[in-house]
Amino acid sequence: MKVRRLVMASIVACLPIAAAVTPAGAIPPTRDCPPAFVGPLTFAEIIQMFPPPPDLPDPEGVLASFDLNGDGSLCVRPLGEDINVIDNIAHNPAVG
């Protein structure tokens, strides 16, 4: 009987820890860009807003090489005549 009480007490003591670890109430991450970047933008939007050099044969292929998560959108930071392109990242609004 004492063993059963000890086991039950252990289980009850662990329940708050298990509840705190589960992500059931967590806000799901969204695809977003860091503050210094514009977007997320589709490849077509990037090409329209920041026209590539005329000698670039496949601008969409170049942009696709930066799209690590495969969602077809990227973040862009204008740097004068050039741009810095990164993939849009998972951002949890609850974290900041």
Structure-block tokens of residue 24: 């059931």
Average pLDDT on 6-12 reads: 44
pLDDT band per the 50, 70, 90 thresholds, residue 10: very low
Q: Give the bridge partners for 30, in sequence order.
A: 91
Average pLDDT on 23-52 reads: 82
The reported pTM is 0.61
- CB of 46 closer than 8 Å to CB of 74: yes
Look at residue 73 in the predicted model and tell me its pLDDT: 94
> What sign does the dihedral 11-16-20-22 (CA atoms) show?
positive
Domain ranges of the chain: 28-91
Structure-block tokens of residue 20: 């705190």
